[in-house]
Amino acid sequence: MRRTGFDQIIITGKCDALIYLLITDHGPQFVDCPDCAGMTVLETTRAIRSAHRDWNLQVAAIGPAGEHCVLFSSIVSSGNRVCGRTGMGAVMGSKNLKAIAVTGTRSVEVAEPLAFLALTEEVRNAIAGHPEYETRYALGTTQLMSGLHRLGILPTRHFQHGVCDYLDQISGEQLAKTYKVKNKACFNCNVHCSRYYVCGDVEAEGPEFETLCSFTSRIGSDDLKFALEMNYTLNQLGMDSLSTAEVIGWLMECQQRGLVRPEELDGVTLDWGDIETVRRLVDMIAHRQGIGARLADGATKFSQSFGEEAQALVMQVKGLDIICGDPRGIKAYGLTYAVASRGADHLRAEPYFELTEQTEVAEQRFGTAKAADRLAEEGKAALVTYSEKIALLTDCLTMCKNIGLCMDILNFELVAELLTAGTGMQYTATSIERAMAEATELDYELNRRFGVVPEDDTLPDRFQNEPLAEGPTKGATVDIQKMVDEYNALHRRR
Ligand code: SF4
């Protein structure tokens, strides 16, 4: 997009009929696309590229789910890179905006090219020399299936368990052995952590850990092929895999406990691992058909038709469904879910550092070695406060969090040098850190204006009061209020 001469796109208003927005060197243009109605993401991408005879056109599109304003619909870039959380696809759908297509040929000015090049080379070398490089290359985020199982925190049967009996059938290693055919990379990345697979009729990129776990252990399924099918289906329908799995997993647990009867669900019975019913429900949700019309509003809203016990079983914070990481065994993640402005996911802070066991760095950076102990609550407020600034920085630089944050490649000093060389404006580590901190506070203040209250900074009751029953995290719960209080004190809030 930068090559078109534009830095940002702000879309206001709504169109009467379905359109896509085309941005080129000549500026923006709205193009009618009635034929794209009901198309999947890939069909839309191909139709737009074909209309302009340009196979390099970059297209961010919504699928049928976005058109039907499913509240957890996504926006998918060039067929398989997904902006999945918080229902941004529904925002595009509500505006009758099917896609944004971009192509540009202008050059991008760099203030000090040689200095900039040297710094980017430094970054590339730091990535290639990283101790986790090989594993990330081979398995990408799917390494977390075995990793979290080993720690006893792999969401299984909707967070009722943290270990999974049939892990070997659904692990990242198993996927790499059976269906992966090659590595793929996002634009300009030298990690190549994405994978391409062929499985029956399905050929696609991915899945990432969250989708793999969501459609295996989280819903009690041992069927790896089904998870690969769902990865493709959800990306083409344009629907967030985590929130889809939450509404389904929640219903499974509610039926297990007799809290939602089949007659309250248009006769649908949903057992653990019942992939036929899951397949049918996913399609009904995307098209808002039958009971799917209500499930399309997400687990939090749908649960309000049932009793308090059922509502408490929705694994969400501020209405956003929780990711596949049980906070009872990764306490900084728990704090992140609780305090993040948009709710229960990792992308506002991603405190992966607590899994690295780098106690010396922890001591230096956060004042206590406990910050690198996943089961400790001490030091996590400082870790999350630091991580949220780096997470925001990766977003501002449009860099991947796997690299910037999880591989610990970015820091304020490096970014100050990069931005100074790139723009010719003077940045310092302090000015950047201050800007990140101020933006985080602004985010918090906006939430307060939108009606979010301090009591919303919490976790579902299960994580606070139900200890895990087995595995390496057996007996653990989260004292979330203690960590939130510490975090607020650091941020001088309340
Ligand atoms: S940008 Fe991130 S997700 Fe994409 S290939 Fe690189 S490390 Fe993997």
pLDDT in tens, 295-304: 999 999 999 9
- Encode burial over 164-189: b for 16+ CB neighbours within 10 A, e otherwise: bebbeebbbebbbeebbeeeeeeeeb
CATH number (domain holding residue 401): 1.10.599.10
Contact 101, 21 (CB under 8 A): yes
Whether residue 254 contacts residue 310, with contact meaning beta carbons closer than 8 Å, is answered with yes
The pLDDT value recorded for residue 187 is 87
Q: Give the phi and the psi of residue 212 in degrees, each rounded to 5.
A: -60, -45
Half-sphere exposure for 315 (CA within 13 Å, toward CB)? 32
Same domain membership, residue 297 and residue 159: yes
- For the cut 80, the answer to whether the pLDDT of residue 449 exceeds it is yes
In terms of domains, do 93 and 195 share one?
no
370 located within any domain: yes
Report the CATH number that the domain containing residue 267 is assigned in CATH.
1.10.569.10
Residue 339 and residue 282 share a domain: no
Residue 79's pLDDT is what?
85
- Could you tell me if 356 and 485 lie in one domain? yes
Mean pLDDT of 286-302: 98
- Domain assignment present for residue 123? The answer is no
CA of 137 to the centre of ligand 1 (A): 9
Q: Is the pLDDT of residue 310 over 80?
A: yes
**Mean pLDDT along residues 435-456:** 96
Q: How many domains does the chain have?
A: 3
Q: What is the DSSP string of 339-395?
A: H-TT-S-STTT--GGGGS--HHHHHHHHS-GGGG-TT--TTHHHHHHHHHHHHHHHH
Centre of ligand 1 to C-alpha 136, Å, is 9
- Asked if residue 371 is part of any domain, the answer here is yes
Q: Is 238 helix (H, G, I), strand (E, B) or coil?
A: coil
Q: Is the CB of 185 under 6 A from ligand 1?
A: yes
Categorize the per-residue pLDDT at 493 as very low, low, confident or very high, splitting at 50, 70 and 90.
Answer: confident
**Where a domain ends, among 256, 278, 313?**
313
Model confidence pTM above 0.95: yes
Residue 258 has pLDDT above 80, yes or no: yes
Q: Indicate which atom in ligand 1 lies nearest the CA of residue 189.
A: 6
Domain assignment of residue 418, yes or no:
yes
First to last CA, the chain: 41
Of 286, 313, 340, which marks where a domain is finished? 313
The whole-chain average pLDDT of the chain stands at: 97
Residue 436 lies in a domain: yes
Task: Examine the domain organization and report whether 9 and 42 are in the same domain.
Answer: yes
Q: How do residues 311-329 score in pLDDT, each as one tens digit?
A: 999 999 999 999 999 999 9
For residue 182, give both structure tokens: 């090659």
pLDDT at 4 over 80: yes
* 276 and 330 co-located in one domain: no
| pLDDT in the model for residue 438 | 97
Atom of ligand 1 nearest to the CA of 184: 5
What is the distance between the alpha carbons of residues 262 and 241, in angstroms, rounded to a whole number? Answer: 24
| Residue 108 within any structural domain of the chain | no
Residue 121: predicted pLDDT: 96
Q: 319, 313, 317: which is closest to 333 by C-alpha? A: 317
User: What pLDDT, on the 0 to 100 scale, is given for residue 138?
Assistant: 96
- Tell which of 84, 102, 120 closes a domain: 102
Q: Work out which ligand 1 atom sits closest to the CA atom of 208.
A: 3
Mean of the pLDDT values across residues 45-70?
97
Q: What is the rounded distance in angstroms from the CA atom of residue 231 to the CA atom of residue 336?
A: 26
> Quick one: average pLDDT of 455-481?
98
Q: What is the pLDDT of residues 167-191, one digit of tens each?
A: 999 999 999 999 999 999 998 899 9
pLDDT at 494 over 80: no
Same domain, 340 and 474: yes
Give the residue-averaged pLDDT of 270-298. Answer: 98
**pLDDT tens digits for 7-48?**
999 999 999 999 999 999 999 999 999 999 999 999 999 999
Tell whether 332 and 455 lie within a shared domain: yes
Say if 240 falls within a structural domain: yes
Residue 80 pLDDT = 85
351 and 385 in a common domain: yes
Owning domain of residue 473? 326-490
Q: Ligand 1 centre from 385 Cα, in Å? A: 24
Ligand 1 probe mutation, 142, 191, 196, 410, most atoms within 8 A of CB? 191
Q: Report how far ligand 1's centroid is from the alpha carbon of 190 (Å).
A: 8
Query: What is the per-residue pLDDT for 420?
Result: 98
Work out the pLDDT band at 281, boundaries 50, 70, 90: very high
Q: Which atom of ligand 1 is nearest to the CA of 187?
A: 1
Are 241 and 360 within one domain? no
- Say yes or no: 256 and 376 in one domain: no
pLDDT in tens, 185-216: 998 899 999 999 999 999 999 999 999 999 99
CATH number of the domain where residue 51 is located: 3.60.9.10
CB of 361 shorter than 6 A to ligand 1: no
Q: How far is CA 240 from CA 73, 125, 141, 174, 209, in A?
A: 6, 34, 17, 24, 13
Do residues 300 and 344 share a domain? no
| Residue 188 lies inside a defined structural domain of this protein | yes
